[in-house]
Amino acid sequence: MTKTNVMRLLDAAGIVYQAGSYEVDEDDLSGSHAADLMGVDHDAMYKTLVLKGEKKGYVVCCIPVDEELDLKKVAKAAGEKKVEMIHVKDMLAVTGYIRGGCSPVGMKKQYPTYIEETAQLYDQITVSAGQRGVQVTLNPEDLRRYVEAEFVPLI
């Protein structure tokens, strides 16, 4: 498996992770499908979602793959009145990543990042390594520190 930019950044920061990969199914890019293929508990596999607030701009959220984001909770965490998901067509320009391969690590800019608070219940969580079909599993506190995130209720 080729090292992704996410892995290089984690290596440079001295953060321990395990890399894993799976065969991408273009018809099913869901995190649930990825978790099944990798044999990872759905509650410990996190998807990365990007939203835009009215005043402060872009916001990044990481939540378990089977959960739905509560937009009111995101807005509250971000100090916004309202937030909405960005369009898939804007994903690459905003983050440097494509749908199905968006990682909270190594985006084009450092955006305010929020991780669902239940991540703290796990020793390890899995997030995208910045490419479809490639994931990294790491300690949620290491991830939080590296991306300067906050653990908050998001679902």
pLDDT of residue 32: 87
User: How far is Cα 141 from Cα 152, in angstroms, rounded to an integer?
Assistant: 13
Query: pLDDT above 70 covers what percent of the chain?
Result: 99
> What is the token pair recorded at 53?
């607030």
pLDDT of residue 30: 81
Place of tokens 């990872």: 40
Domain borders along the chain are 3-150
Per-residue pLDDT of the chain (155 residues; tens, 9 = 90+): 789 999 999 999 999 999 999 988 777 768 888 899 999 999 999 999 999 999 999 999 999 999 999 999 999 999 999 999 999 999 999 999 998 899 999 999 999 999 999 999 999 999 999 999 999 999 999 999 999 999 999 99
Helix (H) or strand (E) holding 145: helix 140-147
Pairing of strands 125-131, 134-138: antiparallel
Topology annotation, domain 3-150: YbaK protein (3.90.960)
User: How far is Cα 65 from Cα 138, in angstroms, rounded to an integer?
Assistant: 16
> What is the token pair recorded at 108?
């084009």
> What is the token pair recorded at 143?
């991830």
User: For the stretch 120-140, what's the b/e string if a residue is b when 16 or more beta carbons lie within 10 angstroms of its beta carbon?
Assistant: eebebbbbbbbbbbbbbbbbb
Question: At residue 26, what are phi and psi to the nearest 5 degrees?
Answer: -60, -20
